[in-house]
Amino acid sequence: MSNSATPVLEARNITKLFPGVVANEDIHLTLQKGEILALLGENGAGKSTLMHIIFGLYRPTRGEIWVNGAPVVMKNPRTALQLGIGMVHQHFQLVPVMSVTDNVMLGDERVKGGFLDRDAVAARIRELSQKYGLEVDPDALIEDLPLGVRQRVEILKALYRNAQILILDEPTAVLTPQEAEGLFAVMETLRRQGESIIFITHKLKEVLRIADRIMVLRGGRVVGHADPQTTTQQQLAAMMVGREVLLTVDKGPADPGEPVLELDGLRVASDLGTPALRGVSLQVRAGEILGVAGVQGNGQTELVEAITGLRRVEGGRVVMNGTDMTNASPRRITHEGRSSHVPEDRHAYGMVDVYSIADNLVLNQYYRAPFASGITIQTEPIAEHARALVDTFDVRTPDIAMHAGGLSGGNQQKMVVAREFSRPIRLLIAAQPTRGIDVGSIEFIHQQIVAKRDEGVAVLLVSAELDEIMALSDRIAVIYKGEIIGIVNRADATREGLGLLMAGVRPGSHE
């Protein structure tokens, strides 16, 4: 790729200010035809903001965008789409109750005699599917499709609009390692056909695997460029975070004791009434971390909810410390089960945004001494408690009376962790404990989890990040379509082996 050719896309001196935050500062980006550019950076580095600017979702405070050698004004996504820029968002922008066809044509409908021409669109989808190896049924409803297929629909949506430039925002987050390979194959096909791709990720291995060129963002600025041929993961990590990063978590061997949590043939329904767990059995012993790996949406959420009393168990048993806790109330599970729960969605479950940090820190103990006396709330002990925890768990805030919604994501998560880790517990259930937070907070929380294990707490770790599972777990259970399809010791686990399990391939089966 010579750099003399006109770039298909160029962003010049992009700056974006949000109230109180510089999200992008003087960023320069070029993309050549038929090239895969990786945009690397940790959460909050400004990758998404930059892409939203290129896609017309945000207006830059300063700077220009050039497409095919001409400056353009991105008024909204419509402009971007018309200029041949397509984006596959991290959270899929698909309407679940509508068909693939309807979703693909939405906003760019084919109309015949005033009515939607669904047949023509479906034919076009089939054609594109064949051309790029993106198999999908045009008549299927999105909500019935697994995440990997939904991603294909998103890519088809862009191709249907004749996108020349494709932005893929964290596309592998919902894929097994093998599915990710499949996606890379598609990306290579697209590159051969002359498409240009911007690939946003924070995963170092993938960048080295597929990118032609790497650009690293940190704190809203470009901190460097790299050539995948000559760069190592360590170097990329250091660029991304700005200091040397431990890619592995420092922990000694586990010394497991007796089982603390036992699940026996657990069956649970999803929100739609379909089976979400089909007979899950596993044990978590004191002093070990059991990781649950799997592609998002295979029953992880329901598993955690069933254990913590937030979802009705329809069959099987949940036993904690030898006591049957099946369908016990969340409060009983917390106190009698001596358990803690770091929920996967901290905004929905883990905290009350409008409450103060102090109140959030007693969310599940507010009615007990010393936080309450009789039925009256005791403000001073609550504040004292908060001051101590904010200090121990490094929650950075000017004031414990500040409303928790105003904290950064990492500090919010540390607040939740502070609340859940500060009780005397025997069981810790951590669901996606580091989702969407900065590397510093991730390291801190990882250390805290390992420290809990070393205290003899049984830890059930559920995470969509295979790297996190591999780094922390002593044993790894893989969940697929509501079943535990295999449990392996960490020492015996490989990414490839886990990937096959995550895709539903049982060991020894010949498929």
Partner 1 sequence: MMQRTLRITSYVAILLVLLFVLMTLLVNLTPLGENRWLRIFFSVSALNFTLRASVPLILGALCGILCERTGIVNIGIEGMMLAGAFAAFVAKTSTNDWPLTASLIFGVLVALLVGGLMGLLHATFAIRYRMDQIISGTVLIILAGGISAYLFDRDAVAQGKFGAIAIPGLSQIPVLGEVLFTNPPLTYLALLLVVVIHVGLFSTRWGLRSRACGEHPRAADTVGINVNRLRYMNTVLGGMLAGLAGGFLVLEAVGQFQEGMTAGRGFIALAAMIFGNWMPFGAMSAALLFGYTQALQNELLLAGVTSVPRQFVSMIPYLVTIIAVCGFVGRVRPPAAEGQVYEQESGSE
Partner 2 sequence: MNRSALRRTGQLLLVPILAVCSALLVGAAIMWLFGDNPVAAYYGLWEGAFGSPRAWSTTIRKMTPLMLTGLSVAIAFKAGLFNIGASGQFIMGTVCSVAVGVNFAGLPSVVHLPLALLAGVAGGLFWGAIPGLLKVFTGAHEVIVTIMLNYIASLFAAWTVYAGGTQGQTPGPLWDSTAGAISRTPEVFVSARLPWIVAEPYRVHWGVVIALLVALLSWWIIFKTTLGFSLRTVGTNAKAARYAGMHVHGITILTMMVAGGLAGLAGAIETLGLNHRFAPEFTGGVGFDGITVALLGQTHPLGVILSAFLLGALDAGSARMQFSSGVSVDIIQVIQALVLAFVAAPMIIRQLYRIRKPSDQAESTLFSSRWGRS
Site residues, partner 1 (CB under 8 A): 52, 55-59, 75-79, 81, 87, 89, 93-98, 102-103, 105-109, 111, 114-116, 157, 272-274
Q: Which is nearer to partner 2, 12 or 403 (CB)?
A: 403
Task: Give the nearest distance from C-beta 74 to partner 1 in angstroms.
Answer: 8
Q: Which is nearer to partner 1, 164 or 326 (CB)?
A: 164
Question: Is 423 in contact with 340 (CB distance < 8 Å)?
Answer: yes
Tell me how crowded residue 105 is: count the other CB atoms within 10 A of its CB: 23
Task: Give the nearest distance from C-beta 304 to partner 1 in angstroms.
Answer: 23
Question: Is 72 in contact with 66 (CB distance < 8 Å)?
Answer: yes
From the list partner 2, partner 1, none, partner contacted by residue 402 (C-beta under 5 to 8 A by kind): partner 2
Residues that bind partner 2 (CB under 8 A): 308, 310, 329-332, 334, 341, 343, 348-355, 359, 363-364, 366-367, 372, 375-377, 402-403, 405-406
Euclidean distance between CA atoms 355 and 313, whole angstroms:
31
From the list partner 2, partner 1, none, partner contacted by residue 40 (C-beta under 5 to 8 A by kind): none
Q: Which is nearer to partner 2, 117 or 336 (CB)?
A: 336
Question: Is 129 in contact with 121 (CB distance < 8 Å)?
Answer: no
- CA end-to-end distance (rounded Å), the chain: 40
From the list partner 1, partner 2, none, partner contacted by residue 55 (C-beta under 5 to 8 A by kind): partner 1
Task: Give the nearest distance from C-beta 248 to partner 2 in angstroms.
Answer: 32
Q: Which is nearer to partner 2, 362 or 390 (CB)?
A: 362
Q: Which is nearer to partner 2, 86 or 343 (CB)?
A: 343
Euclidean distance between CA atoms 110 and 205, whole angstroms:
41
Task: Give the nearest distance from C-beta 403 to partner 2 in angstroms.
Answer: 5
Backbone angles phi, psi at 15, to 5 degrees: -125, 135
Euclidean distance between CA atoms 462 and 498, whole angstroms:
14
From the list partner 1, partner 2, none, partner contacted by residue 112 (C-beta under 5 to 8 A by kind): none
Q: Which is nearer to partner 1, 121 or 386 (CB)?
A: 121
From the list partner 1, partner 2, none, partner contacted by residue 73 (C-beta under 5 to 8 A by kind): none
Task: Give the nearest distance from C-beta 402 to partner 2 in angstroms.
Answer: 7
Q: Residue 79, CB half-sphere, CA atoms under 13 Å: how many?
A: 17
Q: Which two tokens stand for residue 486?
A: 């295999």
From the list partner 1, partner 2, none, partner contacted by residue 208 (C-beta under 5 to 8 A by kind): none
Helices 439-454/409-421 angle, 10° precision: 10
From the list partner 2, partner 1, none, partner contacted by residue 356 (C-beta under 5 to 8 A by kind): none
Task: Give the nearest distance from C-beta 103 to partner 1 in angstroms.
Answer: 8
- Strands 213-218, 36-40: pairing is parallel
* CA 128 and chain centroid, separation: 29
Question: Is 410 in contact with 346 (CB distance < 8 Å)?
Answer: no
Q: Which two tokens stand for residue 170?
A: 């964290």
Tallying the residues shown for the chain, one arrives at 511
Task: Give the nearest distance from C-beta 427 to partner 1 in angstroms.
Answer: 34
